[in-house]
Chains A and B, each alone.
Chain A
């Protein structure tokens, strides 16, 4: 279970949010600059809140007044906006970067499901937007994380690819059984993907709405 209750002073407002989730897809939805990415970065350990508490499955990531858990020890998968694939490594090297020894077996079904097994020897600059997105997704899941954070993962894609990738995300979420926390400012995407949608404005959650459960539609 992910529990987040944090405060952080940002240039234009104070981020002050509190929410928790089991194993669903939670969408942080709101305009750019409302503090959504800062929440993801705080959970990942890339920035530290000024106060509050973050824990995942009973492990404390951050608690005010205590030394935060190092980013390397949080076991968090993070799909960055624009993917952040290492440009000097092949797809294979990218997705194996965080792989622990003896865990290679988990990679094969993932590669097949996402359909990037034919791209392993290519470099990121040789891939299309959709392919990059899939590689970044596999890379983030290859470490077998306890949670997946996705920062506007589909914003750079055309409509058709975007729809395919949304379906793929839903399928992977079903397969993986971990919480997905996804940032977007696209309402349709939020409604399609989110089990829960947290509407954010100026650092606060102004509305939390639960969606009826959904399943992936065919990507064909």
Chain B
């Protein structure tokens, strides 16, 4: 069997790019939401978490409507930046961002809620701006939860299939991430090739969760000592 490693490289690229966006968006979104009380907050939060419960094909369909040639965002991106989303790597990244955002958001919201408000208030009484309170108190204390969200989002980005297929399609060498490559290898009866990619993605997933478990336990111990 000839081994073409493009799906691995593409998957890592998509997951890394989408995780970078998701980390910043999820973290700032969660911080903002945990600080503010406003009418409709529950509805907005439910909307953020929707990709967790919807079938990926529904997410993909929605993204096609938004980012397609006639879609509102698709037209804007093409006119302003000359970026085409459908059937490109950008499409795979966007699909990955949307499905992994809820994981980052949830982890970050739980992490920020867990930070003792009195510590942040102590910083404020000492003259610290909200930005300084965030970087010097909230962020470091929420870091274990933020990191868990980051790792989960990366793993989710690696494994994204349904929405990616709907938006980015299957173009070998261009949009064939590992999960998509597995599906089309099975379709074509290339079971050895499918198995190879299955082993790769299981190893990556297992490695990620093992590391996450180890890290969480280490942090639980560390924080238990600090209290």
Contact = CB atoms under 8 A, between A and B. Distances in A.
17 contacts: A44-B121, A46-B125, A73-B127, A74-B125, A75-B127, A78-B121, A80-B121, A86-B122, A86-B136, A86-B137, A87-B141, A88-B140, A88-B226, A97-B136, A98-B125, A100-B127, A125-B227
B118 A87 contact: no
Interface residues on B, range: 20 to 34
Contacts of B125: 44-46, 71, 74, 76-78, 98, 140
A139 interface: yes
A72 interface: yes
Nearest to B126: A98
A54 to B, nearest CB: 15
A72 B227 contact: no
A85 B127 CA distance: 15
Given A46-B121, A77-B125, A139-B126, 6 more contacts: A71-B121, A75-B127, A78-B125, A80-B121, A84-B119, A97-B126
B182 to A, nearest CB: 43
By secondary structure, the B interface counts as helix
A124 interface: yes
Interface string B4-32: 00000000000000000000000000000
A86 B139 CA distance: 12
A91 B34 CA distance: 29
Interface string B95-121: 000000000000000000000101101
A133 interface: no
Interface residues of A, number: 26
B128 interface: yes
B124 interface: yes
Given A86-B137, A87-B227, A71 B124 contact: yes
